[in-house]
Each structure stands twice: as C-alpha cells, then as structure tokens.
Amino acid sequence: MPAPALPAAIEEQLCLLVRERTGIRILDHQMETLRRTVADGLSRFGHTEAADYLAGLRAARASSPEHEHLIAGITVGESYFFRDQAQMAWLREQWLPQLIARRRAENTLSLRIWSAGSSDGQELYSLAMLLAEQLPDLERWNLHLLGTDINAEALARALRGRYSEWSLRATPEAARQRHFRQERDRAWSISAALRGHVHFAYLNLSEDSFPSMLSETNALDLILCRNVFIYFDPAIVAEVMRKFHACLVPGGHLLLGASDLIDSGTLDGFSLHNLDNAFTLQSHAPAPAKVEPAAVEPARADQRARPKPPPQAAPQVVSVSQPAPTATAAAATSYEDITRLLGREAWREALEAAASRQMRGDDSALLRQFRAKALANLGRTHEALEACDASLAREAGDKHSHFLRALILLELHRLPAAEESLRRTLFLDRYFVEAHYQLGLLQMRRGAHLGGLKSMKNALAIAERAQPDRRLHDAAGRDHERMAAILRHELRMYEPDKP
C-alpha cells in the first residue's frame, strides 16, 4: 500500500533539510520511501501533522533520535555477503594474494581496509572472511578493518552481527560453516572471532573530515565504497573521491559499485584497471587539488533534477598512481607553514619541510611531533613512533605528543601501551575530549564494554559543555559540536535500545 502523500511544500522542505544536514539528495524514485519514513516518524514521535513533524526536525539536532530515524529510513540500503562476484573473485584471486605476499616479503604483517557506507556490515565481514581464508597465521597480522556509515541503526545491526538467510545468499558454503552459527529463530550470527577483527564507526562521507588518524581513515590499502554515490550529487562525489585518494597509500585501491556513475574528471590521480565486465580508463594526472568548500555547496531543491554532465561508466577498481613531487615543501619552512601543510593533509610536503628545517639544525620537540604526525599519516608507523618518542624525550609533558603516540600505538595494535599513553594524555589534561573518546573505543576493543561507554560519555559531557565551535586540536577539523554529534550517534550504536 502506498504511503500517504504529503503536501508538496513539506516534501520539498524535508528534502532540503536532509540535503543540508547530510549531503544526501532524495531522488524522485525515493520519495515513496521518504513518505513511508515520515508516516512512521509521525506516530513514533507523537505528531499528527506533517508540518509539526518538520518543525520538530528543524528544532532538533542532526544527532537527535528524530533525525536519526529519518536518515535510517531513507538510507535503508540492501547489502549482502560477497556481493558482486567479479569483485570478490578479483580480491580473492589477485589483490589479496599479491598484497599478502608483498607484505610477507617486507616483513610488515599489516593490512588496512575501509568499507565506507558499510550498511549492516556484510561488505566488511566478507573481507574479513576472505582474509581468514588466506591467512593461516591471521592472529600474527595487524588487521585494520573499518566500517563506517551515516545510518546509526545499520551500524548497531553490524555490531550485533545477526543476519537473515537472504543476506547469505551468495556466501560460499565453506565460509557459512566456518564463520556463522544458526540461531533458534533461524537467523545467522557471525562468529565472535570474526567480529573481533572488525570495527564500526559513524562517519558522514559528505561532512566529516578524512583522511584522519582519529577516524583511522589514513594510510589505507583498500577502500570499498560501493553503491553509496547514488545518494550524492556530482560535486560531493568529486570531493569524496579527492579525499579517498588522500586516504590511500600509493598503489592502494578503491572499489566502487558496478553501477556507481562518476564523472571522469573525478578520476585524477587514479589509474583504472579492467575487471571482467567493467570499463578501463587510465589517468596519469597528479594528485588532485583540494576542492574549495564553495564547490560543494548544497544544491537548492530546485536544482536537484538538473541534468548532470554525461557520466562515464564506473570502473570497478581504481588504484592510486604515485603523486608527483612538489616544490611546495622547499618553500614552506616556518612552523606556521608546516602546520598549514599538515592541516591540508599534505603529508609528504610537511615531511620534506620538517627535514629541511632539521638539516639546518632545528632539533625541537615540536618539529619531531610534526614529523611523527606526517609519517603516521603516510603509514610509516614505526618511523612515526620513533619521531614521537624523540619529541617526548625533548618535551615529556606535551599532551599532544602523548595523544599522537597513543594513535600510533593503536595503529600498531599495541593496545596496553596505547591505553597508557591515553591515560597520560588525560593526566596532563582531563578535558581532552579526543583522548576520552579514543580511550572509550580502545576499552570496547579490549572487551571492557562498560568502561568504554563511560569514557565515551565523559567525552560527550565535556564536548557538550565546551564552546561549540571551538576546533579540537587533534580531531581532523572537528569542533566540539561535531564531536558531540558523532559521540551521540556512536553511543546510540552501542546502546541501540536506550531512548
């Protein structure tokens, strides 16, 4: 039965609100889903009129239950394990064996994968299953398998790891036997062992900053962002592609959905490879320049249906070409310059600039800290730790160096040492929001669920009391307000039944 129609002006205002707050555009064929979600929201939140519902949404924060219900309703994305057999075969037969062999030869047993727009987690768990298949010594590896989404309800389901038979329709029998257990109600639960290798977090691709060590979206080997671009308009897709490029290590790969349409202009810095049924398009352009915020201004409702430039059929695998050396670093040698380079994620240039200062005799703690940050973001984790320790040897009481050290140790999966560094950071500054937040995540990862929740609630309480628009030093451009919103989303993901 179709959902009850809404007044056209209300529908338009709702689309605009969603577009402004999340970057998601609602297309004509999705209007029925919007209407059904609104009908459900009206009764759930005690409204009788759609206008009251809209006013309630406007007054509520983007991280409120009302808003989250709306986003969860309109982003219900179908996903299933081992979706897209051609991509899965490429991962299983080519990409993983080659990368694993290379890492073994280099004696660096680590791998970093991000499922961006992970929905209920099937995509990320499929990768974890492929890894379990190929790594007999899985426990020796430092695996970073991250799933993020804007839909907190989907993230809660991903954490829970219970699926219907339909979600397993493409799952190989051996994987089903090894990683799932069937419950009395016939649902399939993912094994605790596999769940222990992945983690999920809230991240809005069109709003939040990445790459960032804080969201663990730096120095990645593989990003899967499949069937997500359907929600965005081309300007946002271009910006997300640029940021994905910065997240990947040179030679890293990006997998898009088979039907994701992107403009060829967004492929700068990537070279394309053919997969069975996909287009090949090769680009040797250097890393793309940063798109200014004005270029991704939200489209007005009346622009939503504007025809787009003709899209290229999406390639399914995109790899990062080596960036060309730049002249920026040589010119940038003051601390302000290096801070600016770090701020715009120009890690290589920041590193070169720090090296040129060091060659001229500068041996300060701050310079070492800069170096550590750039190295860590480039995935040169062991060197980063050395630089960070060298910085702390010169200035033992620097909370930012202790926090950076904690993030580096987290990447190295040295959890007890990371926890010690976080506690030291908090000893130096007990209002350090990001340290409380990271401590919470770490405690959860170590199985201390209640302690983890408490630390995250501490972070939220501090963020809510602080000046909303004050930028956090170590939080990838987030201010207190954004940090509080992310914490509210993530707390609901960990406690989905709490009102």
Ligand X SMILES: C[S@@+](CC[C@H](N)C(=O)[O-])C[C@H]1O[C@@H](n2cnc3c(N)ncnc32)[C@H](O)[C@@H]1O
Interface positions with ligand X (CB under 6 A): 22-24, 75, 77, 79, 83, 117, 119, 123, 149-151, 154, 204-206, 226-228, 231, 257
Six token digits for residue 490: 């993530």
Least distance to ligand X, CB of residue 217, Å: 12
**Choice between 48 and 166, CB closer to ligand X:** 166
SS3 for 329? helix
Q: Write the DSSP assignment of 100-167 as a string of letters.
A: HHHHHHHT--EEEEEEES-TTTHHHHHHHHHHHHH-TTGGGSEEEEEEEES-HHHHHHHHHTEE-GGG
- DSSP label at residue 253: E
Six token digits for residue 385: 């730790």
Using CB positions, name the residue nearest to ligand X: 77
**Choice between 238 and 388, CB closer to ligand X:** 238
- Note whether 168 and 120 are within 8 A (CB): no
Least distance to ligand X, CB of residue 253, Å: 15
SS3 for 328? helix
Least distance to ligand X, CB of residue 407, Å: 22
Which of 400, 399, 368 minimizes the C-alpha distance to 386?
368
438 φ, ψ (degrees, to nearest 5): -65, -35
Least distance to ligand X, CB of residue 83, Å: 5
CB atoms within 10 A of CB 139: 9
**Choice between 53 and 231, CB closer to ligand X:** 231
Say how far apart CA 489 and CA 69 lie, in whole Å: 11
Write the CB contacts of 122 (distance below 8 Å, at least 6 apart in sequence): 79, 80, 81, 83, 163, 167
- Note whether 245 and 264 are within 8 A (CB): no
**Choice between 316 and 369, CB closer to ligand X:** 316
Least distance to ligand X, CB of residue 29, Å: 14
**Choice between 79 and 438, CB closer to ligand X:** 79
**Choice between 188 and 432, CB closer to ligand X:** 188
**Choice between 240 and 406, CB closer to ligand X:** 240
Say how far apart CA 51 and CA 54 lie, in whole Å: 5
Hey, which residues does 110 pair with through a beta bridge? 142
Least distance to ligand X, CB of residue 79, Å: 3
Least distance to ligand X, CB of residue 487, Å: 17
